[in-house]
Amino acid sequence: MTGHHDLRSTEDAITQRLGGLNIDFEAMWAVSNIYRASASIRNHFERTVLRDTGLTWTGFVVMWVVWIWGESETRHVAAEAGISKGTLTGVTKTLESYRYVRRSPHPTDRRRVMLALTPPGERLMRTLFPDFNREEAFVVKDLDGEQRRALAAALRTIVRHLETS
C-alpha cells in the first residue's frame, strides 16, 4: 500500500475487490463517505480553528455539550459527545489542566460526578464558536441552501434510526 488514496481511486479499488460479492454498494458508499467526510472535517477543524486552543475535536465536543446543557453528569456528557466514560475521563483531565472545566461531586450522590465550564472555558467557547461556525460554513460552501438542508435532514434520519434501533 502506498500512502493516501483519493476518494475516486479508493472507490475504484473497492469496486474491483468486491465486485463479485452480493453487497449493497449504494449503502456502502453512503456510509463510507459519511465516515470519510467526518474524518476530513475533524482533521480540518483540528488543523485550523482548534489548532491554537490546545483542544482536540473531542475536547471541543465535550466543551460544546457542557456549554449548551450547562453543568451535567459525566455519564450524560459522554453519551451526548458520543464517547465512552473512559475517554471522557482523559479528555476531562486535559480540559481541567487548561482550566476550561471543573469536576465536582453530584449534589445528592457523591459517587456521581458533575462537569461544568469554568469562566475561562465559557469565555473560550463564546470567542471560539463564531470562528468555528465560519469553518462550518467553509466546509459546506459548495452546497447551496437546499443541499445543506437536505444533507442535514438525511443525516438526522440516520441518527434517529440508529438511536431508536
| Least confidently predicted of 25-29, 88-92, 132-136, 155-159 | 25-29
Which residues constitute the domain of residue 30? 9-47
pLDDT digits (tens, 9 = 90+) for 114-136: 999 999 999 999 999 999 999 99
Average pLDDT along the chain = 93
Same domain, 127 and 59: yes
Q: Which 3-state string (H, E, C) describes 91-109?
A: HHHHHHHCCCEEEEECCCC
Same domain, 73 and 102: yes
- How many domains does the chain contain in total? 2
Same domain, 76 and 157: yes
Residue 1 has a pLDDT of: 47
For range 98-125, the mean pLDDT: 94
| Least confidently predicted of 31-40, 105-114, 140-149, 155-164 | 105-114
Percent of the chain with pLDDT over 90: 77
Q: What is the pTM of this model?
A: 0.86
- Altogether, the residues listed in the chain come to a count of 165
Q: Please report whether residue 152 resides in a domain.
A: yes
Report CA dihedral (49, 147, 9, 23) to the nearest 10 degrees.
120
Contact 47, 65 (CB under 8 A): no
Residue 3 in this model has a pLDDT that exceeds 70: no
Give Rg (Cα) of the chain. Answer: 19
Contact 159, 80 (CB under 8 A): no
pLDDT digits (tens, 9 = 90+) for 61-96: 999 999 999 999 999 999 999 999 999 999 999 999
